[in-house]
Structure 1
Amino acid sequence: MSNIYGYIRVSTKDQNEARQFTKMIDKGVEARKIFVDKLSGKDFNRPQYQLLKKVISEGDLLYIDALDRLGRNYDSVITEWKNITRDIRADIVILENETLFDSRKFKEMGDMGKLMEDQFLSLLSYVADQERKKIRKRQAEGIAAARSQGRHLGRPRIDLSTLSANELVILESNYPRWINKEITAVEFMGLLQLKKNTFYKVVKEYEKRLN
């Protein structure tokens, strides 16, 4: 008996997979057959995706919300697509555009369908590569423009002057506790939600103000 699976990927642990999960459930996928990775799409070394590849078999159907949820390197995406649909002989449906991305339709056309699928995937790879080049060009132009205007690039600088009123209260109320070793530096950093280097920089500025 064939199975229906769902694969979900979000780029970070902070992103919510609920929207994709709901779409899978609406398609009749059982919750226990939905595989979720919270990782970048740069490659396929993702634990849940690799587990999915071990259990999916001939005749099964795999739903994915959008093609970039499968991966962002489109040459690798094409390789994975062909591996699942031709080697494993399962099917893939991309929910974002079911009209174009449904491997079952190509299989129904026989050898002609395989040829059309190859051409379609090759075109997809070309378009994706051109889009990546445009994005890199826009990013480079944006960085150059920002530098020419003397703007700071990267994450915003955090120091004592940029702390919010609430953060200052946390700093002032817990600094004596830290000095008296009632709380550890790690605990103090957690209260302020600061990384180690930034924490010590802020504390040093605060101590200068006290003096």
Structure 2
Amino acid sequence: MIGIMSRLPAHPLAGQSVGYARVSSVSQNLDGQTDALAAAGCAKVFADTASGKLTERPELALCLGYLRAGDTLVVWRLDRLGRSLRHLVETVNALAERGVAFRSLHEGIDTTTSTGRLIFHIFAALAEFERELIAERSAIGRQAARARGREGGRPAKLSPEQVKLARARYEGKDVSVSEIARAFGVGRGTIYRALEQPAS
């Protein structure tokens, strides 16, 4: 049965193809995906209507819980399953550890074949490479910031000169904190935090 399921359905003998489909909004139609999955031999199809960036996809959770060793998870396209390359690789690897294979119809990937497994090993290597690049860039950015006397984190909303001016106006008691905040285009909390800093 296609659509939202209130509970995990009973599983027949292992070895079946199970489909998963997803669209990102209610205005999009699932029929193209579900038809392709049915034509590919999927006895059951789980379907979500949710953004790929959302962590909560109830039908995917049901689908993953339904799968048994010997089954094959089938999707119409890779991006229907994974929010990112890393997430896709992690999901498929977790399935492989449970003895569940994976197929993507659009890309022609099938991990029951040696070619399909090779392609996924390449994806896993690319995901690791991407992760290392991000970590390396972050480390270089932090090192460059330290070399310029800056620490990591969110940039300050007020410069040291603005903090001094805000302190002088506040201690002069001629304007309110709200007026100081409006003058600098920041919130009152920013002004209060600036005033709590030791005077230089």
With the shorter chain as reference, the TM-score category is: 0.5 to 0.7
So what's the TM-score if we normalise by structure 1?
Answer: 0.50
Unaligned runs of 5+ in 2: 1-12, 134-200
Out of 46, 49, 62, which is 1:35 matched to?
A: 46
The answer to whether 1:122 aligns with 2:125 is yes
Q: Which has the higher helix share?
A: 1
Match of 2:113 in 1: 105
Match of 1:13 in 2: 26
Change in 2 beyond 3 A, CA 1:74/1:117? closer
RMSD across aligned C-alpha pairs, in angstroms? 2.8
Change in 2 beyond 3 A, CA 1:89/1:14? same
The answer to whether 1:26 aligns with 2:39 is yes
- Aligned AA (2:57): R
So what's the TM-score if we normalise by structure 2?
Answer: 0.53
1:43 touches 1:73 (CA, 8 Å); kept in 2?
no
Match of 2:145 in 1: none
Match of 1:49 in 2: 60
How far apart in 1 are the matches of 2:126 and 2:107? 16
Change in 2 beyond 3 A, CA 1:102/1:17? same
Offset from partner CA, 1:93-142 (integer Å, 9 cap, x none): 100021xx21111399xxxx57x743333236768xx9xxxxxxxxxxxx
- Aligned AA (1:14): S
Moved over 6 A (4+): none
Out of 85, 94, 98, which is 1:74 matched to?
A: 85
The answer to whether 1:94 aligns with 2:97 is no
State the shift of 1:40 in Å: 0.7
Unaligned runs of 5+ in 1: 131-211
State the shift of 1:8 in Å: 0.0
State percent identity of aligned pairs: 26
State the shift of 1:76 in Å: 1.2
2:86 touches 2:124 (CA, 8 Å); kept in 1?
no
Larger radius of gyration: 2
- Aligned AA (1:78): V
1:172-183 equivalences under 5 Å are none
Change in 2 beyond 3 A, CA 1:43/1:77? farther
Match of 1:83 in 2: 94
Secondary structure, aligned partner of 1:40: coil
Secondary structure, aligned partner of 1:62: strand
Secondary structure, aligned partner of 2:47: strand
2:101 touches 2:112 (CA, 8 Å); kept in 1?
yes
State the shift of 1:16 in Å: 0.2
Change in 2 beyond 3 A, CA 1:94/1:126? farther
